Amino acid sequence: MRKPQVVPDEDHEVVYERVAAVDVAKASGVVCLRAPDPARPGRFVNRIWDNVPAMRAQIAELGGELLRCRVQMVTLESTSDYWRIWYYVLESIGLAVQLVSASQAKNLKGRPKTDKLDAMWLARLTQWGMLRPSFVPPAAIRRVRDFTRARQDLVAERTRCLQRVEKLLEDAMIKVTSVAKDGMKAKSVVAMVAALAAGERDPRALGDLAKGPLRARRDQLAQALDGMFDSHHGMIARSLLDQVAFLDRQITLMEDQAIAALAGVPESWGVDADGQTGPQAGTSPDSPVLAAAHRLAEIPGISLWLAIVIIAEIGLNMTCFPTPAHLVSWMGLCRSAASSGTRHGKGKPKKGNSYARAAAGQAAIGAARTATFLGERYSRIARRRGKAIAQAAVARSIMIIAWHLLNDPQARYRDLGPDFYASRINRDKKIRNHIRGLQALGLTIAITGDEQAA
């Protein structure tokens, strides 16, 4: 008989003696404090606070009471964004707080469901250590995240405004976006629309505003700009272009604020060649320790801004993710495990962190265009399994690299080169495979020179 595999059991006995749990709602929360019962040694008693207002002063007062009761862990159920005030206030006064998904804290079927019973059940699961906490970055990283996410929302709004301009041009029978490859993203097209809004109607004069490669297509632009653009179209276009200009300024502002917020986090600093550290240290290639964002920016496909976005989503402390696989799973870049006996299913896709996943996907697309190990990896997978799977695979590789770079500040990215796979091919094995293939076709093979056939 084969020896059994030894797997350490998870500790689902009493992990914490004194815990608290909050069943969160929009305007209030039900709080359960579970602590040893002084009258019955080895047993526990629950104390319930009903409908604690979700206001800073009341939550701080409750937190003071939990501190006096020596609570070791407070658990919050992730309910929309209503958990934030509870988490931030209780964390700020020194309590250990964990956020758990509703799927982790779901009550048993058939049990009565009330807010009080939910809070008691959450406290019991906390005490037994049966909950898997969600990742919530520290306050300094949350500030960076607020700016990066605000910028992303502004970029999306800017795109919507440009799409409205394009629809307006179609209504006015202006087909300039059919000629310009980049559509409304091209600065020349925006300048033409601005001139139309200002009253210019001569197609030739409008076509002469083209810059760069678009100038070679001025004749086509003149035909496309010959439409029925009226004064009311001009008013709407002017309003939309003003919104785009305003959003451009706000996007730049959010970028500057995010960069400044990350510079205020000491863990992100590097070390210069002279041993000095600080917000601007570690930005040159010869620095012994690169700043965190510059470390990630060495990975193909990751720009400095994209590195800041990734740090804002996953933080700088990789102990929150015990292995790179934990990080990849948390981001939703892999499927859930689904195996039973000898059958291994694909598993369900995970939702994960959509912001971090989008940044990794964008980096993968950028890396695919480079003559690097990651670019070659993308090409090899895309040929066999398609571009979508190749993008996900390269995104996983990028985040695994990012985990190692953030886990060890001394580490630097070293590209394996586009010929990494080709150099690992076993030449003799490949020769033998070709010989067997030719022999299967009835051919007699004679090896000449220094090569020996096995």
Q: Give tens-digit pLDDT for 348-380.
A: 777 888 899 999 999 999 999 999 999 999 999
Regarding beta strands 19-24 and 73-77, do their DSSP bridges make them parallel or antiparallel, or are they unpaired?
Answer: parallel
Cα separation of 30 and 24, whole Å?
7
Determine the pLDDT at residue 442. 85
Cα separation of 378 and 185, whole Å?
27
Task: Report the share of the chain in percent with pLDDT over 90.
Answer: 41
Question: How many residues can be counted in the chain?
Answer: 454
Cα separation of 237 and 132, whole Å?
51
Are 132 and 310 contacting, i.e. CB atoms less than 8 angstroms apart? Answer: no
Low-confidence winner among 238-247, 378-387, 413-422 (lowest mean pLDDT)? 413-422
Q: Which residue has the higher pLDDT, 282 or 244?
A: 244
Are 418 and 407 contacting, i.e. CB atoms less than 8 angstroms apart? Answer: no
Determine the pLDDT at residue 248. 93
What is the average pLDDT value for the chain, to the nearest integer? Answer: 86
Determine the pLDDT at residue 453. 43
Taking only the tens place, the pLDDT of each residue in 22-51 is 988 888 888 989 888 888 887 888 888 888
Q: What is the mean predicted confidence (pLDDT) over 132-138?
A: 87
- Region of 183 please: left (phi>0), alpha (psi -120 to 50) or beta: left
Angstrom distances, CA of residue 205 to CA of 137, 190, 221, 429 = 54, 14, 10, 67
Confidence of residue 16 (pLDDT cuts 50, 70, 90): confident
Q: Which residue has the higher pLDDT, 4 or 78?
A: 78
Q: How many helices (H) and strands (E) does the chain have?
A: 17, 9
- Kindly state the tokens that stand for 448: 């000449």
Cα separation of 318 and 433, whole Å?
44
Cα separation of 377 and 307, whole Å?
21
Low-confidence winner among 48-52, 117-121, 196-200, 347-351 (lowest mean pLDDT)? 347-351
Taking only the tens place, the pLDDT of each residue in 247-270 is 999 999 999 999 999 999 999 988
Q: With 80 as the cut, is the pLDDT of residue 10 above it?
A: no
* Among candidate residues 59, 51, 56, 58, the one with its CA nearest the CA of residue 29: 51
Cα separation of 22 and 122, whole Å?
8
Confidence of residue 454 (pLDDT cuts 50, 70, 90): very low
Task: Tell me which H or E stretch contains 176.
Answer: helix 176-179
Determine the pLDDT at residue 12. 53
